[in-house]
Structure 1
Amino acid sequence: MLSKENTGLIIVDIQGKLARLVSNSDSLIAHCQKLINGAKALDLPIVWLEQNPEKLGATVDELSMLLVEQEPIPKFTFDACEEPGFMHAIRASGRNTWLVCGIEAHICVYQTASHLKNLNYDVHLVSDCISSRELVNKELAITKLANHGISITGLEMCLYELVKDCRAPEFKEILNLIK
Structure 2
Amino acid sequence: MLDRNHTGLLVVDIQGKLARLVEGSTPLIANVSILIKGIQALGLPVIWLEQNPDKLGPTVPELQSLQAGAPVLPKFSFGALGEPQVAATINQSGVTHWLVCGIEAHICVYQTVLGLLEAGLAATLVVDAVSARIAANKELAITKLAARGAELGSVEMCLYELLGDCRDPAFRSILPLVK
Alignment RMSD (CA, Å) = 0.7
* Structure 2: unaligned runs, 5 residues or longer: none
TM-score (norm 1): 0.98
Partner of 1:34: 34
Partner of 2:82: 82
Q: Which amino acid aligns with 2:150?
A: I
Aligned length: 179
State yes or no: 1:106 paired with 2:106: yes
State yes or no: 1:132 paired with 2:135: no
Rounded to whole Å, the distance in 2 between the matches of 1:142 and 1:62 is: 25
Partner of 1:72: 72
Q: Which amino acid aligns with 1:16?
A: G
TM-score (norm 2): 0.98
Q: CA-to-partner distance for each residue in 1:103-147, whole Å, 9 max, x for gaps?
A: 000000000001110111010000000000000000000000000
Partner of 2:23: 23
Rounded to whole Å, the distance in 2 between the matches of 1:172 and 1:99 is: 22
Partner of 1:56: 56
Q: Which amino acid aligns with 1:115?
A: G
Specify the SS of the correspondent of 2:55: helix
Rounded to whole Å, the distance in 2 between the matches of 1:159 and 1:45 is: 14
* Structure 1: unaligned runs, 5 residues or longer: none
Rounded to whole Å, the distance in 1 between the matches of 2:64 and 2:30 is: 13
* Deviates most, 63-72 or 148-157: 63-72
Q: CA-to-partner distance for each residue in 1:87-116, whole Å, 9 max, x for gaps?
A: 111111101000000000000000000111
Map 1:7-18; keep pairs closer than 5 Å.
Answer: 7-18=7-18
Rounded to whole Å, the distance in 1 between the matches of 2:74 and 2:57 is: 11
Residue 71 of structure 1 deviates from its aligned partner by 4.1
Q: Among all aligned residue pairs of Structure 1 and Structure 2, give the percentage whose two residues are the same amino acid.
A: 55
Partner of 2:92: 92
Partner of 1:157: 157
